[in-house]
Structure 1
Amino acid sequence: MKERLEALRTEALQELQGVGSQAALNDLRVKYLGKKGALTEILRGMGGLSAEERPVIGGVANEVRGSIETVIEEKTQAFIKEETEQRLRAETIDVTLPGKGLPQGAVHPLNKVAQEIEDIFIGMGYSIAEGPEVETDYYNFEALNLPHNHPARDMQDSFYITEDILMRTQTSPVQIRSMEAAKGTTPIRVICPGKVYRRDDDDATHSFQFNQVEGLVIGRNIRMSDLKGTLLQFAQEMFGAGTQIRLRPSFFPFTEPSAEVDVSCAQCGGHGCRMCKGTGWIEILGCGMVHPRVLEMGGYDPEEVTGFAFGMGIERIALLKYGIDDIRHFYSNDLRFLSQFARK
């Protein structure tokens, strides 16, 4: 039996020397040292040995097993080292190559314009006021001098949730809430930016959801000339120092008198072009002196204070500022369009 064990060791070591892969090494481990391997098969015959021979043969068997396991472990470590070196060679990074640039986001053009509008008015001493987008009929209409059955309600095709709850059609309700919060104190100088909702998406310049910025000033001896000067400064900071404005009489239930405001066309300098339809002027917003009834609803005495208000669509300002002809570009999520407005 001793000779068989020595022969097994010689055979196993010879085979192990020529093994070429980890998988083949595992097969040889099973062949010689497994439960049904050659060494186990030889040791099954130890039952026929005498008591004196068993320790001797057992010692030889352990030596054979140990020598085979030693070579298997050495081969295993060699294969692991080789595999690691190959992987490192394959994954080698040339640190002298230029890095790959990561894509960077940018401020959406509507947010960019909204921030610019806010910065302009904050620079004039205004604060920012916000309110709910789901509004009551009272704040959206009645407190703004638009009682039930008022014909001017037809100008704003609204999304009603219940008979008295709707998606706000303007940010004017924030003006009423600001007056209520002030509790009769003056002055008030606020702008009210936010989303508004109307069933108005029939063409390329309208959407059922859009963004507004409205402004409100209340104090003593506030005049129409103060409104005009404020809007002129805004227009020149937004569209350029040479921009001019004009006020045309109009009607809004919450202001009296009311006016539409035009700016001189930046593209043609007021001479007339396709953008301004040959007039030299482009409409940008509505405004007026706060109606006495609205002042009363906000908790003010119209005999003691006056005020002015204005409102503009952010999309409208962005269309004019960047010369865009379709409002739907802002909502298309087209990176080719949006990336043009990335800040450098």
Structure 2
Amino acid sequence: MKERLEALKHEAVEQLGKVADAIKLNDLRVKYLGKKGALTEILRGMGSLSTEERPVIGQVANDVRGAIEALIEQKQTEFQRLETEKRLAAEKVDVTLPGRKLKQGAIHPLNQVIQDIEDIFIGMGYKVADGPEVETDYYNFEAMNLPKNHPARDMQDSFYLTEELLMRTQTSPVQARTMEAMKGEVPIKVICPGRVYRRDDDDATHSFQFHQIEGLVVGKRIRMSDLKGTLLEFTRRMFGPNTQIRLRPSFFPFTEPSVEVDVTCVKCSGNGCRVCKQSGWLEILGSGMVHPRVLEMSGYDSEEYSGFAFGMGVERIAMLKYGVDDIRHFYSNDMRFLGQFARV
């Protein structure tokens, strides 16, 4: 039995000396030292040995086991070292290389336009006002001279939550709330940016949700010429110093008189092109003098005070400013599109 143990040791040392990877090393460990391994198989015959031989053979068996285990541990340490060196070589960083530029986020083009518009009007002395998107029928319609069953409500087919609550169809309710909060004080100069909701997504230039910015000025001796001068200053700051505007008669229940405002085409500068249908003009917003009834409902004497109001779609301004032909691009989250508007 002693000779078999010595032969097993010699065989194991020879095989372990040739092993080249951790998987094969584990296979050899099981082969020689496992529960069903070669060493266990030899030791099963110790029952046939005499009392004198057992301690001697037991000591030889322990020496063989210790030698094999020591060699296996040595090989494991070597393989771990080689694996660590291999991984370090693969993950080595060249500190002399220039740093990688991190991609930074940018403001969404619609938010950029909102900020630009706010900056323009704040520079003209306006304040920014805000209000709820879930609005009452009173502030959304009635306070804007649109009583129940008024036919002009059909132009703003709306998302109602209850009979008296709806998603606001315009930011005009903020004007009514502002006038009420001022309690007859003047002057009022505010713009009201925010999201509005209408069932209006028939083509590529409309969406059921969009952004609006409305403006309101109330004071003494406010005239239509003040409105025109304000809008001319705004459009020139937004589209360029040579921009011209024209006012066309229109109808809005909350203003009287009411006008649509056009600007010279941003593509052809008024010479006529496909974008403006050869007219040289592009519609941009609606406006007018605040209706006396709207002033009266908000606590202002229409004989003493007057004012003007205007409203524009932010998407409309952005499409004209950047030459975008489909409103859905602003909401597609396509980085190829949005990345064009990142400001360095």
State the TM-score, normalizing by the size of structure 1.
0.89
Identify the range of structure 1 (115-124 vs 300-309) with the bigger mean alpha-carbon deviation. 300-309
Distance 2:285 2:311 in 1: 6
SS at match of 2:13: helix
Aligned to 2:194: 194
| CA offsets 1:11-30 (integer angstroms, 9 cap, x no match) | 32222222233222222222
Letter paired with 1:230: T
- Shift in Å at residue 52 of structure 1? 4.3
SS at match of 1:110: helix
Aligned to 2:108: 108
Distance 1:40 1:342 in 2: 73
- Shift in Å at residue 48 of structure 1? 4.1
Distance 1:27 1:99 in 2: 46
Aligned to 2:309: 309
Letter paired with 1:110: L
SS at match of 2:196: strand
Matches within 5 A, 1:182-331: 182-331=182-331
Identify the range of structure 1 (150-159 vs 98-107) with the bigger mean alpha-carbon deviation. 98-107
Distance 2:340 2:131 in 1: 32
Alpha carbons of structure 1 residues 22 and 204: separation in structure 2 relative to 1, 3 Å: closer
- Shift in Å at residue 219 of structure 1? 2.5
Q: Percent identity?
A: 76
Distance 1:153 1:24 in 2: 82
2:160 matches 1:160: yes
Letter paired with 1:264: T
Aligned to 1:64: 64
Letter paired with 2:294: V
SS at match of 1:210: strand
CA RMSD of aligned residues (A): 2.5
2:137 matches 1:137: yes
SS at match of 2:195: strand
2:180 matches 1:173: no
Distance 1:325 1:40 in 2: 83
Count of aligned pairs: 344
SS at match of 1:318: helix
2:77 matches 1:77: yes
Letter paired with 2:183: K
- Shift in Å at residue 288 of structure 1? 1.6
Letter paired with 1:120: I
Aligned to 1:121: 121
Distance 2:108 2:2 in 1: 86
- Shift in Å at residue 68 of structure 1? 1.3
Aligned to 1:45: 45
- Gaps of at least 5 residues in structure 1 are none
State the TM-score, normalizing by the size of structure 2.
0.89
